[in-house]
Every structure is written in structure tokens, then in C-alpha cells.
A and B are shown apart, each in its own frame.
Chain A
Amino acid sequence: MNVTELTLTELRRRLRQGSVTSVAATEAVLQRIIDLDNDLRAYLTVSDALALEMARDADERRALGEDGPLLGVPIAVKDIICTQGVETTAGSRILEGFIPPYDATVVARLRAAGAVIVGKTNTDEFAMGSSTENSGYVTTRNPWDHEHVPGGSSGGSAAAVAAGLAFGALGTDTGGSVRQPASFCGVVGMRPTYGRVSRWGVIAYASSLDQVGPFGRTVADCAAILQVIAGHDALDSTSIDAPVPDYEAALTGDISGLRIGVPQEYFAEGLDPQVDAAVGRAIEQLEAMGAQTVVISLPHTRYALPAYYLIAPAEASANLARYDGVRYGPRCEGSNVVDTVKQTRALFGAETKRRIMLGTYALSAGYYEAYYGQALKARTLIQNDFLQAFESVDVIAAPTCPTTAFRIGERTADPLSMYLADVLTVPVNLSAGCGLSLPCGFDDAGLPIGMQLIGNTLQEATVLNVAYAYERATGWNRKRPVETR
């Protein structure tokens, strides 16, 4: 058995046992990247020398009797998360060659936990997209079928984990960018509660929605990574100062008596029948394990996507204003300062420009109330929907995405059809809750289907445990994509 086929938690057990070294695991991952990633294109940067150095260091520490939550475990990091000394582009040409002089808090915590950072994974430019097709560099392919997208924006991380090019990965989820690619790639991905994980050093797309989340091949793998990255950070004023529970210990598999809400609005028109059926069976499985299901209503769901596409671009229009070529990143010299800034900003891709325009418009005098103001009101209504639902249920179960992975190029001509890929994930971002996607079957074409489990504020442990119970009972995660070269 190739070491790269191990789950993160299994690798960790063997590292602790001494039956495998971090250097061996890291070398195996790097070799697999050489073998597969020319086609797959999950990574933008492979920091192989750094990874081997970290692996050697981990083995030395292990030899000295030390341990760490992720000591020696090779992990991939989405390229929108800053890594000191390793190029970080956010998938944009405007940050080509940018080497941050600082680590994001999540990266610092990975390092402190002993993780080996393999490299930086592909993303739609500034996390704006659902397929990685908006990356300024390359489109990642779905490991299950190279003609299909891996989802996005954290498509590189999802594909890397699915294809065994890392034992786990970090992504960011602003409108579904962890859960949707997890669903498309048949892995587990979680978006924690806003503020549970620090945003320090995470390149901002939409500040009030962005949140870092883990990818893993199993629920336990996700829990192990979340355990390391979660927690208060004084550098992020929006981070929540609350104790972090023991997520791995919460994985009991016992969900008897748990109340699971099934929101009717999430099983509506546009839902692929195969997805509908698979998620329906998964919910039945949860019932069979002792959970009690309740049909609920989240009546303002239909406002989520339009509200998201006003709030996120509005914030993005300000967040992306700093990329002017004055202080860092490439500079396209113009005839004067203002012209130089204009020329440099031409490096933004089409979708990024579209969202900057959209957001600028939504915030403009005379339109603010009608657009941004209204969107904030809708956000409050959606938040209230969830708060009300969580008065009678513990967890909400639904599809992650209306379809399985679509074909590369299928939706690029029509931005709206692309936006619809997020229709079932966006509401969680607008709420104060958390969400997770895990495999619950395959369609006729052999593409993975994801189930979304949604929890209330800081209820990550509950969500993880439901997912764990389901995963243990069904084992969809044990099926891996066939290697195609």
C-alpha cells in the first residue's frame, strides 16, 4: 500500500508508532505530485525543499520524543493564505511573485503543530468562482474525471486531497468555496463558524464572509486540522474568544435522539434528481441511526444568492483596491502615478473586474440603500431563519450543491449559471452558523455527490459527529478516484 493512500489520522498514528517517517510520507506525496499534478494542476507552487526540511525537522523532533497534533503530516494550503517565504498569489496575476514576509495565523498554527507544508493550491482569482476556471494561472481538473471541474474556489485543495497529493488541506469558504469543491471531489470539507478561525494573513475577498476551513479524506481528518487552526486570535478583531472543544473526542458516532432538520427550500427546482435521491437516502440513513428528522422551512433562502452577490462584491471592491503596484506585486509602468495604477489593475481577470464593478455600483451614492442596504436586511432575515430553525433542530441536512461537478467550460460563458453552483452553500455564510460537506454517493457518471450538514453558531463538534456517524455507517469516503495520467 502506498503511504499516500492513508488518511491523515492513520498516517499520524503510524508516525507516532514509528512505522513510517515524515520524510518518507513527504517524499511519497512529492513523487505523486510529480506523477499526477502535471495533468491535475492542483498546486500553483510546490514548496518541495521547504517540505522536506520540515519533514526532516519533524522526524528529528519525533526522535527526541516530541509530538505535535500534526507532527510530520504533509498538508496543502490554498494559495490565498499567506505563507512566509513562499509565493502567495490568491490565484491572481496581480500578485504574481508576491512572497509574504509573514505567515497567516492558520499557517503559523499548522507549523506550531508540526505540519509539513507541501505547497500552495490553485484557486479562482481572489476566491471568486466555483470551478478554479477563474484562476489567473490554470484550471484544476477533477480527479474523478479530468473533463470536469473540481469546484471552487478551493478546487486545488479539494483535488489535492482527493488525489492523494496531500493528507489534508486548508481552503477558504466565502460562499461555499470549501463545501462545494469538497462535494465535487468526494472529500470532507468544513466551513467553521465565522470568527472560529483567524483570518489574519488570509487575503481578503469578502471580509464579513471569509472563513478558513479544513479538507480531509475523512471527518476525523477534518476534525484534526480544525483542532489546530481554531481559536481566538488577537490579531483578528472579528475572531471569537471562546474555548475550542476537543473535536476529535466529540466523534462518538452516537446521534440517537438528535434532531435533524430537512429544509424544504433546499430540495427545490434545479436540484439534480440523482443528488436529490442520494441526499434523501443519506437522511434516511441518519434516521436509521436513531436521529429524528423534521421538515423545516428556511423561508428567505431565495434571497441568499442575490444578497451574497451584493455584499461580497461590495466588500471586495474595497478589499481589492490595494492592488495598485505601488508597494508590492507586479507594476505596469504608466505615464504617471495614476496611469501606472490603471495599467497594473489590468492584471485582474474578467470575473474579478466584474465583481469590483458590481460592488462599486452597489455602494454608490443613490444606490446604496437599494442594493447594499437591502442585501444587509436580507442577510438579517436569513440569519433569523437559521436561528429559528435551530430552536427545534440540532443539525440541518441538505445537498451541498444542486449538481455534481460540471464540465470544464460548461458555465464560463454564463456567470449566473456559475453563481448557481453556490445557491445551497451561500446561506450558511450569511448566517452565524457552520457547515460541512461529505460524500454521500456517486451519480451515474461516477462523480461524487455531497451532503451538507449545517450547525448553529460554534456547533462544529455536533456537525462533525453527525458526519462521522454517517461516514462510519456508509464508507463512501473509502472509494478513491482511479489514477489517470
Chain B
Amino acid sequence: MNRFEAVIGLEVHAELMTNAKMFCGCRVVDSVEAPPNSAVCPICLGMPGMLPAINRRAVEFALRVALALNCEIQAENVFARKNYFYPDLPKGYQISQYELPLARHGWLEISLPGGAKRRVGIRRVHIEEDTGKLTHLDGEGSLVDYNRSGVPLLEIVSEPELHSAEEVYAYAVRLRQILRYLQVNSGDLEKGVLRVEPNISLRPQGSSEFGTRTEVKNLNSFRALAAATEYELQRQEAILRQGGEVAQETRGWHEGRRETFSQRSKEEAEDYRYFPEPDLPPLFVDKAWIDRVRQELPELPAAKVDRYQEDLDLSHYDASVLTEDRPIAEWFEAAVKAGGEPKRVANWIINNLFALINESQQEITSIRVTPEGLVSLLKLVDEETISHNSAKDVLVEMFKTGKAPDAIVGERGLAQISDEQALEHIVSKVLALNAQQVQAYLEGKEQLQGWFVGQVMRETRGKANPELANELVTKLLERRR
């Protein structure tokens, strides 16, 4: 039996988080939260006589992405009209780019399960404007919200170089991470600010011709993307194995039934009658502009992972976790800069801080613990002012109140008892109160040593220096022999 090879390309639409829309001064608002049609003007409503003017900030955001994706930037950018009718498209055409897109011939490195890395080609990156949003009421007409109309949109098209649902997932996650790093897109699939559409086909292993492809839309999570891709690959394989033909079409994803379904036949190629937008002269992107944007690019996650491993001696896992989001990486780097030992800071973030953040459903950018605060806390442990265990409690308090660690230690009397004389007094008291257990210990039940340490910790409400307590318990018990 023939084996099939999956050939998948990804078309990603990312709204750009500029203040203003692509061709007018309207604010870019949260399309879920903002009241319908509250951020619209005659331009983005396509009213008679209105003209577009390019938002250069949006071009700059697009340049960031194009450069991060290692693309060649076109010096001359021509906008084009893409003509089609839909009530959510106010002008009856979308201003997009066709023959001369902003950027071409790039690549994105993805990490595959097992740690392997692979470069996936980027065919083109171009700028366009988003459409409005249509809501069909059951039998009672349709409503249209133009808040989204004219929001700058980036279309990022990969080469058809992905070969499995895992790779599709890895590509989409990595691309989203980069968009977030570049602070051009929030990566929220559910709100539709990022839309990922796979083009999927199969061909016999070793064949160089492409099979008929289907495009899957309405995927509002990465899990849905992976599941829909997997479903579609199996569906197509079943058809081909039975000698059938895959129909060229757009398919939707039914989350409940976990299957794709036919939405729109694409047998007749749509004719968008592209032609150069006469209302906009060509936009020239010169080298100076590109250089400036390049200089302002942040360190990207892949580079950070390498650096954390090589320079800071973190494990691959820790480095990956800390670089997942730019604010986390920046928080970590600030702590290291404040004098924290990288591996220890990493452990505290991953093992303690993340739990607190998750519990309180906050973002690292909004918490009250500062990187410097964490480093001061660790210093108190190093100086043996507090124990490791107390430090965890202090962190909780810091998280809640935003107070400095030494203030909390002072207030709550958490300073560790490291004074040998004082602690010896407490150990003696514990032994005196537990004569029976002392007897048992002396008769050979030596595992009770730890129980006595526990009693000392209890007596001191955790403030006893654990090592010293351990030492003194053994010393005083042995003295009784």
C-alpha cells in the first residue's frame, strides 16, 4: 500500500495592535468588548468620497514581523484593491497587497517534539485591512459591526512545507510567540485577532506534484488547529485510499463533533480582480527605515533560549519556560541583573511565582513582587536570616501586599534563630517535655531524631535555623547517654 505525504501550508492573519486603524484615525478597539460601531468614521465605513491614508506605524509593525521572519523587504510597496462583495466589507473591496507585497522569502525556525529544529519557508508577508463583523440573526436579519473594519492586518503565508499536525502546531505556536514578543499582536485566537488557516493536501510519498487541497477556517484555538489538521489528513487519506478525489473547498471546524465540514466549494477559482489602488501612491520602504526597525527589534525567543543555556547555564526546559512570554523573560532578566543567581531565580519563578500568578489569574506584568524584591528575599535566605521554608511564606506575603521582604520578616518575627545558646535552650526544653521519646531514642529508636527537630521547629514557629537545630538535637540527645 502506498504511503501518503502530508503537504500543509499555513495562512495566518494577524491584526496589528496599533493605536489607529490602517487608513484612518479610528482607534483599534477590542472587538469583543467595545460596543458595536463605536470606533468607526466615514473612512472605515466606506462613505462616498472618502480616501485612505497609510498609517506608517502599522507599516513599521509589519516590518518588525517581516524582519523577525528573516524576509526580504520590498523597497516599493504597492497596495491593491481586492474586489468582492460582502456586507462586512464597506467599500466592496479590501485594500491589500498583491503583486508587490511588503516582504518575501523568509523563514521561521520551529522546534519539534524531541528537540529537533527545522526551518519553514515564509512565502510572503503583506499588509491589508480587516473587514467588519457580520452577525446573522435567525430569521430576523443580519447585524454588522464595523469596529474591526480597517484594522491593520498582516497576512503571513508559509510555504507548503509542513508535514504533520504536530508541525502545524509547532509553527503556529512559534509564530504567535514571535508576534507577542514583537508586541504587534496579543495572540488571542478566540477573539480572532490571530487567525490561522491551514491548507492541507496529501500526495503519494515521493511524488513531486501537489494533491488537491482543502482550507480549514474558524479555528479558535491551537488545539483545534492541530485536531482539525489531523482530522482532515485522515479524512483525505480515507478518500484517496478508496480511490476517490478530494474536493477543493473551504471547510469549517465543528468543535463539538470534532470534525471538519464543507463550507464553500472552491472549484471555480475566485476572481478578485486585483488592480493597483489608485488612491494610494506606492509606499517606499528605504534602507534607513529598515535598519532602524531592525535595531529596535527585541531579542527573539530562540536566541534567548540559546543564551540562557549557554551563558546562564539553565536547562533547556527552564530556558524554554522562561522565554515563552517576553514579559516573563524580562522579569527573569531583571532579577538576574539585580544580582540573583540565574538558576536559583529560575527555580523560584518556575516553582513558586508561577503558582501564585496562576492562582490569582494575573499576568507577570501586573504582580506586586518585583524582580529586585525576589533577589532581596533570596539574600535573606543566604544570610540565614530566614529559612528556605519561611522564604516561601514571605513570597506569598510579598505577592499579596507588595511589601519588601525584610519588612515582612520584621513584622512577623520570622528572623531565623541562629543563636546557638538561644536554640540550645529551646532544644533542652523540648527534650525535657518529651522524656518518654528521649528514652526510646536512647534505647535505639534513633529515627526519632527527626521528630525532635520537628518539635523544635514547631516550638519556634519555623524560625529555627534547620541545620543548627539538627546539630543541637543530636548533640543534646547524645549527651544524655
Name A residues whose Cβ lies closer than 8 Å to a Cβ of B.
Answer: 81-82, 88, 90, 95, 98, 100-102, 104, 199-204, 206-208, 234-238, 314-315, 317-318, 320-322, 324, 326-328, 337-338, 341, 360, 363-365, 368, 372
Alpha-carbon distance A179/B45, docked complex (angstroms): 33
Cβ B53 vs Cβ A234 within 8 A: yes
Cβ A314 vs Cβ B275 within 8 A: yes
Given A237-B279, A321-B92, A326-B144: A363 in contact with B273 (beta carbons within 8 A): yes
Q: Select from chain B the residue with minimum beta-carbon distance to A320.
A: B92
Residues of B within 8 A of A202 (CB): 49
Residues of A within 8 A of B42 (CB): 101-102
Cβ B269 vs Cβ A365 within 8 A: yes
B54-87 to A contact mask, C-beta < 8 Å, 1/0: 1000000000000000000000000001010101
Residues of B within 8 A of A206 (CB): 278
Cβ A200 vs Cβ B46 within 8 A: no
Given A238-B279, A322-B91: A100 in contact with B47 (beta carbons within 8 A): yes
Cβ B81 vs Cβ A200 within 8 A: no
Residues of A within 8 A of B49 (CB): 81-82, 100, 102, 104, 199-204
Contact of B211 with A by CB under 8 A? no
Alpha-carbon distance A338/B92, docked complex (angstroms): 13
Distance of A123 from chain B, by nearest CB (Å):
13
Cβ B53 vs Cβ A327 within 8 A: no
Which of these, B48, B50, B81, B92, contacts A88 with CB under 8 Å? B48
Residues of A within 8 A of B281 (CB): 237-238
Alpha-carbon distance A368/B275, docked complex (angstroms): 9
Which of these, B46, B54, B134, contacts A327 with CB under 8 Å? B46
Contact of B271 with A by CB under 8 A? yes
Cβ B273 vs Cβ A364 within 8 A: yes
Residues of A within 8 A of B91 (CB): 318, 321-322
Q: Select from chain B the residue with minimum beta-carbon distance to A239.
A: B51
Which of these, A81, A199, A337, contacts B87 with CB under 8 Å? A337
Interface class of chain B by DSSP: loop
Which of these, A200, A236, A363, contacts B83 with CB under 8 Å? A363
Residues of B within 8 A of A95 (CB): 48
Alpha-carbon distance A199/B48, docked complex (angstroms): 11
Residues of B within 8 A of A364 (CB): 271, 273
Total count of chain B residues near the partner, CB < 8 A? 32
Distance of B90 from chain A, by nearest CB (Å):
6
Residues of A within 8 A of B273 (CB): 317-318, 360, 363-365, 368
Residues of B within 8 A of A372 (CB): 275
Given A237-B53, A314-B275: A321 in contact with B85 (beta carbons within 8 A): yes
Cβ A321 vs Cβ B48 within 8 A: no
Contact of B399 with A by CB under 8 A? no
Contact of B342 with A by CB under 8 A? no
Distance of B242 from chain A, by nearest CB (Å):
34
Q: Which of B157-205 contact A (CB under 8 A)?
A: none
Mind listing 16 A-B residue pairs with CB under 8 Å?
A98-B48, A102-B42, A102-B47, A200-B49, A203-B48, A207-B279, A208-B278, A235-B51, A314-B275, A315-B275, A322-B48, A324-B85, A327-B45, A327-B90, A365-B271, A365-B273
Residues of B within 8 A of A204 (CB): 48-49, 279
Contact of B280 with A by CB under 8 A? yes
B373-404 to A contact mask, C-beta < 8 Å, 1/0: 00000000000000000000000000000000
Contact of B93 with A by CB under 8 A? yes
B245-278 to A contact mask, C-beta < 8 Å, 1/0: 0000000000000000000000001010111001
Cβ B87 vs Cβ A236 within 8 A: no
Residues of A within 8 A of B279 (CB): 204, 207, 237-238
Contact of B421 with A by CB under 8 A? no
Contact of B2 with A by CB under 8 A? no
Residues of B within 8 A of A236 (CB): 51
Residues of A within 8 A of B53 (CB): 234-235, 237
Cβ A200 vs Cβ B51 within 8 A: yes
Known: A363-B83, A363-B275. 4 other contacts (CB 8 A): A203-B48, A326-B90, A337-B134, A341-B87
Alpha-carbon distance A479/B235, docked complex (angstroms): 82
Q: Which of B274-290 contact A (CB under 8 A)?
A: 274-275, 278-281
Alpha-carbon distance A237/B22, docked complex (angstroms): 14
Q: Which of B15-52 contact A (CB under 8 A)?
A: 42, 45-52
Contact of B366 with A by CB under 8 A? no
Residues of B within 8 A of A327 (CB): 45-47, 90
Residues of B within 8 A of A322 (CB): 46-48, 90-92
Distance of B54 from chain A, by nearest CB (Å):
7
Cβ A326 vs Cβ B275 within 8 A: no
Q: With a 10 A CB-CB cut-off, give which of B87, B92, B93, B273 has the most chain A CB atoms.
A: B273
Distance of B136 from chain A, by nearest CB (Å):
8
Residues of A within 8 A of B92 (CB): 318, 320-322, 324
Given A102-B42, A314-B275, A365-B271: A237 in contact with B85 (beta carbons within 8 A): no
Q: Select from chain B the residue with minimum beta-carbon distance to A363.
A: B273
